[in-house]
Every structure is written in C-alpha cells, then in structure tokens.
Amino acid sequence: MDSKPAFIDLFCGCGGFTLGMERAGFRCLAAVDFYAEAVDTLQRNLTHIKYVLERDLTQFRPVELAAMIGVNSVDVIVGGPPCQGFSTARQVDGANHGERLTQDLRQHLYQELLKYVDYFKPKVFVMENVLGIKTAAGGEYFVRVQSEARALG
C-alpha cells in the first residue's frame, strides 16, 4: 500500500490540481468532472490514476465514489467548482455586481464539493475559484462557503 497521503479531486477539469497535488507528494484516488473533454485530457495525461470519472456531481453521490475507490475517508479533497457565475468578466454589463447579480446555478456547485467533504471527512480541503466570489452579491457567496464549511467541523 502506498504511504503517500490520499486525495480526491472534484470538478477536476483537465487535471491541474491533480498534477500539482501529485507533484507535492500526494496520491490521487479519484478525479471527477462533468466535462467529457477535460476528463479525456486528464485520462490521457495521467494514465496511472485508476478512477478518472465523467460524472455530474449533483447526481453522483459520495457513497458511490467511496464504493468505487474502496475507502470512506481521505486526507485531502481538492476541487474547483465552476467559476463562471462569479467571474469578474461577467461584470462588464453589471450581471454579477450588487443588486444585478445574474442567477447562475453554477454559483451553488460549491455545495456539492462540501457534500463530499462532509462524507469523507478529510483533514483539509482546498477549493479554488475566482476572486469575484468574494464580491459577488456583496460577498454573500463567499460568506456562505465559509459558514457552510465551518458547520461541517
């Protein structure tokens, strides 16, 4: 058995987080994303990772992943929920600023990452997003991410 600390990568995209974690000495148990082309890219570049999965994290439950990878806990969870809903690039027309925040279901996908954190109870989790998450809706989403994460312990 490999003694390196284990992690899973959610919303893995083409594997930037995964590659960085591996280079830092961690072992990837699974990488999951909804975007087929990104998953294909990760699979082609990091062929040693057994579970590179094209799944919708709003439908794919943590217990299902646990059954596949054969563990109920991991050392670290990393993830980059889609950032488009918070991107400052969308502020050009005021769509993501103040009272004019455009509703975008992707703004709630961080909650899917937190479901996995709650289930797998990692020692730490890292969530990457864009700077705009701190200011979108007057900081409402940033505060939500923090408070919901703290509520998990």
CATH code at position 39: 3.40.50.150
Instruction: Check residues 112 and 104 and name the one with the higher pLDDT.
Output: 112
What is the number of other CB atoms lying within 10 angstroms of the CB of residue 63? 10
Q: In what order do the strands lie in the sheet with 76-79?
A: 52-54, 27-33, 6-10, 76-79, 124-127
Are 76 and 122 in contact by the 8 Å Cβ rule? The answer is: yes
According to the model, what pLDDT value does residue 150 have? 87
Task: Give the mean pLDDT of 82-97.
Answer: 51
In a domain, 75, yes or no: yes
According to the model, what pLDDT value does residue 105 have? 47
Number of domains the chain contains: 1
Q: Judge whether 14 counts as a catalytic residue.
A: no
In a domain, 1, yes or no: no
According to the model, what pLDDT value does residue 106 have? 47
Lowest mean pLDDT among 41-45, 99-103, 133-137: 99-103
The residue segments making up the domain with residue 93 are 6-151
Task: Give the mean pLDDT of 12-32.
Answer: 97
> What confidence tier does 68 reach under pLDDT thresholds 50, 70, 90?
very high
Indicate the pTM of the whole model.
0.79
According to the model, what pLDDT value does residue 66 have? 98
According to the model, what pLDDT value does residue 16 have? 95
In a domain, 46, yes or no: yes
According to the model, what pLDDT value does residue 2 have? 77
User: Which of these, 68, 72, 153, lies nearest to 119 by C-alpha position?
Assistant: 72
Q: List, in order, residues 6 or more apart from 81 with CB less than 8 Å away.
A: 10, 11, 106, 109, 110, 112, 113, 127, 129
